Every structure is written in C-alpha cells, then in structure tokens.
Amino acid sequence: MAEIREKTPLETTSTPETEHDLVRKRKSKSPSLAVETKRAKDEDVESNEDIAKQYKRFKAAPKYNLNSEEVYCICRKPDHGGELMVGCDGCEEWFHFKCMKINSQYKYLIDKFYCKFCQWKGVGSMLWNRKCRMPGCFQPIRKAEKSKYCSEECGRRYLQGKLQGSEVLTPQHIKFVLTYINTYDDLIKMGVEFPELPEVSPLDMEKLPLHIRNELVENASKVDKVQSEHSLVTARESFLPIIKEKIRIINERLQNTVEPVEEESAKKKKKKGSKTKKVDLCCFDKRLDDLLTKEEYEKMIQSDNIYETFKDEIDEIVHAYNNQDNISYNGSMCLQDRRKCLRHNGWFGLLTDQVWKRRTELENALQKLEEEKFETLRAYSISRYEEDK
C-alpha cells in the first residue's frame, strides 16, 4: 500500500475522472486496478529521453537546500506542510500529488504508487483500488467482502437513489410472488439465494454464449492441469514417510553389523569397556529430484514390506559401507555421516517443506480457478437479468 503524507488537503486544478474511468476494469481478474488518468492521455507523453534527462537531474540534485532543510519530489522543495505527498513504493522517495498530476481526492484509491522514474526503469506500474460505486465517494471498495461499496451506508444510499422515482413493485411482480410462495417462510427466504439461470445450474454448455463457453473451457483446461500436478505432489508427499522408514532400515542394519571399537585409553577401557559406533548416515538420494509418476509413487506407498521393496538397494549400501567401499560406491545415495555432511544438512526437512509449499500453492490455484468460474457464470446471469428489465 502506498504511503500518503497528509497535512492540509491540496486544491488541485486537474480535471476529475469520471466514475466509469475509475472502475473500467470490471472484467479484469486482478484485484488491483491500473488506471491512466485522462489528463495523462490528453497531454503529450514524455519520451524516454526526456525522462532520462529529468532522472539525471533528479539524482544529481542536492538532498538539502541552503537552509539545511531536506527537499523532496522532482520540484526539490522542502515539506512545509499544506501539500499532499505520496511515497514511491520503488525508490521510497516522496512526491507531491500536484507534481505527479494526481488529484488529491484519489488519495485513498492509490494501492501501489511508482514515480515516473521507477515506471521508466520498469520497477513497477501504478495500481489503483476500485472506487466505491456511490457517486461522489472516493473511498476504496471492501475487497475482503467482495463488495462494490466502501461501506454499508454507501450501499444503502446508492440503492435508495436507484429506487427513487421508480415503480418498485408492479402488479406482475406481485402476481409472481403470490404464485411462487405458499407460506410466510417461503416469503422470508425469497432473495436469500441467487436465482440461477436454467443453463447455469445445472450447467448446460450448449445454451451458453460462445464467449462464455470459451472462458469455461479455458478454465477447465487449467483446472485439469493443476489437478494433475496436485495429484502427483500429494502422492509424493505420501511417499516421504516411506523414504524416512527406508533410511531407518539402512541405519538399523548397518548398526547391527558394526563391530565394537577399542577405546583410546586403557584406563577408560577398564571402566567403560568397549562401545559400539553409532551409525547415522545422511542417505540423501539425488534421485529425489526426479519426479516419478503417480502410479509409481502409489505402488511403493501400498507396499507392506519396505525392505522387500528396496531390498537390492539396501543390501548394496550395507555391503559398500561395511567393506569401506563407499568411496567407489556408484549409487545415488550419500553415505556420509549425517552429522558431518554439510552439503545435505537438513535435506529431509527442506524436502518436506518444499512438497508442502507446492501442494498449498496448487490448492490455492484450484480455489482461484473455481472462483473465476463462479464469477464468469454470475456475471453472465446478472447481464441476462439486466437485459430482461
């Protein structure tokens, strides 16, 4: 969110934008709104060469004036109060609304502000919050509640203005209501649920317009792709305990084959006797980066005897380690002591986090695609109802 430094509201001379311009991005799937002001359109667009020269002067200008006051903006003037300023989310410099040619009434609609220099350098583009639907209100809508208004009060005032002077209930409406309901409870429930069109619920693609069908087909294609990867990642996540159990079996079998070692000191040997070397190998497998198919994962997950499933691999590792042949071991698993292997330190925890993160990302993507499908159908239904008015 862009930071606004507000003192006394600034009276600007820029031409206000219409509500239509501020909410023009109705069909966009992005939650933010990038808006070009009318004034910027009407004026000559600055060339890259002009902005480059301005940027050079801006960077070369002193940070303080002769009175040791810090100066801001492209005008390089101190902040004496009374002028509205906005902080750039790119370079973190402060700029006056007037110098940036932004009307002060839009101060609450700024979501991300990037100065002309940051936009020129490609750091980012200015983003706006969608304006409240109420004319004259320049507060942002409540995104979390998916509302078109900044508050309940604005919503009521807008609808009251729409209803004033119109015939709210016609005889046909009353007849329809009396025909539709049988009890008082039915009357109370009217309007609680959105009246879906017959072609929307249940979904009948043949009855929908071509552009709606195309959007739904594209959405379904994305869903299939995400679901396919999600199934694979879920299977891989279920395979992680199998990996951990295989490592336990390897260390356990090696532990059973290790001979007691002599103590360095004879004195310690008399008191404590011999002790067994504890085996705890790293066991990082470089093949973990190679994704298997869902069926291959499930086949290993369903195995009742993990040792039998990986018998050849486990026996090879035990033989190589016991014969001190791990240097020439050509397998894919690291046979270094886990506590001494800095290269693969904490690899199992990192792998678990990586798989969990990817699964969460895919689940969020599926939810977003489902919401996009819902919004597409809901927008179509609303447009049909508005056409039938």
Separation of alpha carbons 200 and 346, rounded Å? 51
Burial pattern 359-383, b for ≥16 Cβ within 10 A else e, equals: beebeebeeebeebbeebbeebbee
Q: Kindly tell me if the per-residue pLDDT of 26 is higher than 90.
A: no
Q: Calculate mean pLDDT across residues 336-353.
A: 92
Q: pLDDT tens digit string along 96-120?
A: 999 988 998 999 999 999 999 999 9
pLDDT of residue 4: 72
Separation of alpha carbons 105 and 267, rounded Å? 87
Helices then strands, counting H and E runs in the chain, come out as 13, 7
Query: In Å, what is the CA distance from 181 to each residue of 9, 167, 196, 228?
Result: 54, 22, 17, 45
Would you put residue 339 in left (φ > 0), alpha (ψ -120 to 50) or beta? Answer: alpha
- Which stretch of DSSP H or E encloses residue 5? strand 4-5
Among 34-38, 76-80, 116-120, 203-207, the range scoring the smallest mean pLDDT is 34-38
- Residues of the chain with pLDDT > 70, as a percent, come to 81
Per-residue confidence band for 271, with pLDDT thresholds at 50, 70 and 90: low
The residue among 65 and 38 whose pLDDT is bigger is: 65
pLDDT of residue 17: 42
Per-residue confidence band for 268, with pLDDT thresholds at 50, 70 and 90: low
- Which stretch of DSSP H or E encloses residue 77? strand 77-78
Query: In Å, what is the CA distance from 151 to each residue of 2, 131, 142, 160?
Result: 21, 12, 7, 14
pLDDT of residue 259: 57
The residue among 349 and 275 whose pLDDT is bigger is: 349
Residue 94 contacts residue 2 (beta carbons within 8 Å)? no
Output the CA torsion sign for 282, 285, 289, 293.
negative
pLDDT of residue 24: 35
pLDDT of residue 31: 37
pLDDT of residue 183: 83
The residue among 172 and 27 whose pLDDT is bigger is: 172
pLDDT of residue 1: 67
Asked whether the whole model's pTM tops 0.75, one would answer no
Per-residue confidence band for 215, with pLDDT thresholds at 50, 70 and 90: very high
Cis amide prior to 62 (ω within 30 degrees) = no
Q: Calculate mean pLDDT across residues 262-291.
A: 68
Q: pLDDT tens digit string along 131-152?
A: 999 999 999 999 888 889 999 9
Highest mean pLDDT among 9-13, 25-29, 165-169, 211-215: 211-215
Q: Kindly tell me if the per-residue pLDDT of 29 is higher than 50.
A: no
Q: Kindly tell me if the per-residue pLDDT of 189 is higher than 70.
A: yes
Per-residue confidence band for 198, with pLDDT thresholds at 50, 70 and 90: confident
Q: pLDDT tens digit string along 224-251?
A: 999 999 999 999 999 999 999 999 999 9
How many residues make up the chain in this entry?
389
Q: Calculate mean pLDDT across residues 177-192.
A: 78
Residue 355 contacts residue 236 (beta carbons within 8 Å)? yes
Q: Kindly tell me if the per-residue pLDDT of 343 is higher than 60.
A: yes
Residue 99: both structure tokens together:
């110098």
Q: Kindly tell me if the per-residue pLDDT of 176 is higher than 60.
A: yes
Paired residues of 226 in beta bridges: none
User: How many Cα neighbours within 13 Å face the side chain of 354?
Assistant: 10
- Residues of the chain with pLDDT > 90, as a percent, come to 39
Separation of alpha carbons 283 and 151, rounded Å? 58
Q: Calculate mean pLDDT across residues 120-130.
A: 90
Among 58-62, 197-201, 288-292, 317-321, the range scoring the smallest mean pLDDT is 288-292
Among 28-32, 223-227, 334-338, the range scoring the smallest mean pLDDT is 28-32
